[in-house]
């Protein structure tokens, strides 16, 4: 089969590799129909992190089950399924608490030979990991494409909003205009029903998309007076803030526009964060929440929202390429010519 393989910074290649096989009776083999490139993939693409050379990469995919192990009960061959970016057994104490990313037997796609930017992938703990896709999504091309966002960015944006304790009628500031930040706007508007949604970024086209997703106000993060401008709109600060980038400047801004006693949730992978503003957090009695999203916990709700048409995150997928051109997709996202790349791998 064809799979995307890491060979170093700015060097990803589609290569022929052995087909995956069942390693355990709880495994499934999924034929991938749609995959995506994630903003977090750019960390290794840019050389910030260094996976093992030869590692198969990618952690966002949907597809059709081709084979199952003898102990798999909840899904079956032929089912169209959505996979979270982490596999989990569904039975450990953390899975039962809805924190599947801390599963005692779990792991993450894009590691251990289970890369999702490929034609096929082995899914450990298929019953605990995979969620069946409704026919209304599986047989609708637009919704099938959009479903790949539920594997990570839509669920991660939603996680940021949930952890920031956004409630109906509330005010939230969302820092970051990448796919996760934009999906956080969509969640705040359409799932959590916030009243004022303030999107902060520096790409005009992406901020326009934020408005389409439900942002009531937008600000340019590169404006040296952006903090003062936000606080003029929201005197005292916002009670709910989501940081969706993962760098020092964005986290600092998130903290300083938060209302005393409020909550700052951070869901951007913090590779470029040395320390949060602990003095500000302490003296303002802020709660710092967030972290890696337990996507599996959110999938039923988000799948239902996509099926019903309440959310449509597909506009963040602004470039579609075949698997063979995955390297072009990485370059487009690295150069900010694309928000997020959809990989059309096979027929649904």
Give the Cα separation of 262 and 241 in Å (integer). 8
The full length of the chain comes to: 348
271 and 319 fall within a common domain: no
pLDDT at residue 282, as a whole number: 95
| Res 347: pLDDT | 87
**Which of the listed residues 250, 268, 290 is the one where a domain comes to its end?**
290
Which residue range(s) make up the domain with 213? 157-290
Fill in the DSSP letter of residue 214: T
Q: Are residues 263 and 299 in the same domain?
A: no
Reading the block at residue 239, the tokens are 């009670």
Q: Is residue 144 located within the same domain as residue 15?
A: yes
Residue pLDDT, tens place only, 164-222: 999 999 999 999 999 999 999 999 999 999 999 999 999 999 999 999 999 999 999 99
Q: Are residues 279 and 300 in the same domain?
A: no
Tokens of 6: 């890491």
The residue from 248, 270, 290 where one domain ends is: 290
- The stretches in the chain having pLDDT less than 50 are none
Do 22 and 72 belong to one domain?
yes
Global pTM exceeds 0.85:
yes
CATH classification at residue 19: 3.90.180.10
Beta bridge mates, 132: 81
15 and 79 both lie in a single domain: yes
State residue 271's pLDDT score.
83
CATH no. for residue 247?
3.40.50.720
Residues 185, 254 within the same domain: yes
Q: Are 59 and 177 in the same domain?
A: no
Q: What is the pLDDT of residue 240?
A: 98
The pLDDT, as a whole number, for residue 165 is: 98
- For the chain, how many structural domains are there in total? 2
CA 204/CA 283 separation, integer angstroms:
34
| Closest by Cα among 95, 64, 82, 63 to 294 | 95
pLDDT tens for 226-238 read 999 999 999 999 9
**Do 268 and 322 sit in the same domain of this protein?**
no
Q: Are residues 142 and 164 in the same domain?
A: no
Same-domain check for residues 82 and 214: no
Closest CA to 175 of 232, 224, 236, 230: 230
Closest CA to 101 of 38, 41, 59: 59
Q: For residues 116 and 17, state if they share a domain.
A: yes
What's residue 180's pLDDT? 98
CB 312 within 8 A of CB 306: yes
Runs of H (alpha helix) within the chain: 41-45, 93-96, 126-129, 135-138, 141-147, 153-163, 179-190, 204-213, 226-233, 248-256, 278-283, 295-308, 326-334
CA distance 140 to 144: 6
User: What confidence score (pLDDT) does residue 112 get?
Assistant: 76
Last residue of a domain, one of 290, 315, 331: 290
Q: What pLDDT is recorded for position 66?
A: 98
């Amino acid at each position: 089969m064809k799979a995307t393989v890491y060979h170093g910074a700015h060097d990803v290649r589609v290569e022929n590799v052995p087909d995956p096989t069942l390693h355990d009776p709880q495994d499934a083999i999924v034929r991938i129909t749609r995959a995506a490139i994630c903003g977090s993939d750019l960390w290794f693409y840019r050389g910030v992190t260094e996976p093992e050379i030869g590692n198969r990469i990618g952690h966002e995919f949907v597809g059709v089950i081709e084979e199952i192990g003898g102990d798999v009960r909840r899904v079956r061959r032929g089912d169209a399924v959505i996979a979270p970016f982490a596999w989990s057994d569904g039975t450990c104490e953390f899975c039962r608490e809805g924190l599947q990313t801390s599963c005692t037997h779990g792991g993450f796609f894009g590691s251990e030979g289970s890369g999702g930017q490929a034609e096929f992938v082995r899914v450990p703990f298929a019953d605990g990991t995979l969620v069946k896709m409704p026919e209304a999504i599986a047989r609708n091309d637009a919704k099938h494409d959009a479903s790949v966002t539920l594997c990570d960015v839509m669920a991660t944006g939603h996680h940021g909003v949930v952890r920031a304790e956004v409630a109906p009628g509330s005010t939230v500031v969302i820092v970051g205009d990448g796919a996760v930040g934009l999906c956080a706007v969509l969640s705040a508007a359409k799932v959590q029903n916030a009243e004022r949604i303030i999107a902060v970024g520096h790409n005009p086209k992406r901020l326009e998309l934020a408005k389409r997703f439900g942002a009531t106000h937008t600000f340019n993060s590169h404006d040296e007076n952006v903090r003062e401008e936000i606080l003029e709109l929201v005197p005292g600060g916002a009670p709910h803030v989501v940081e969706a980038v993962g760098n020092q400047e964005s986290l600092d801004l998130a903290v300083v526009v938060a209302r005393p006693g409020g909550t700052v949730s951070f869901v951007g992978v913090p590779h470029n964060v040395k320390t949060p503003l602990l003095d500000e957090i302490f003296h303002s009695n802020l709660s710092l929440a967030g972290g890696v999203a337990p996507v599996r916990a959110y999938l039923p709700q988000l799948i239902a929202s996509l099926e019903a048409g309440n959310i449509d995150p597909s506009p963040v997928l602004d470039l579609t390429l075949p698997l063979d051109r995955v390297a072009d997709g990485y370059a487009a996202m690295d150069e900010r010519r694309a928000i997020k790349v959809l990989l059309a791998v096979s027929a649904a």
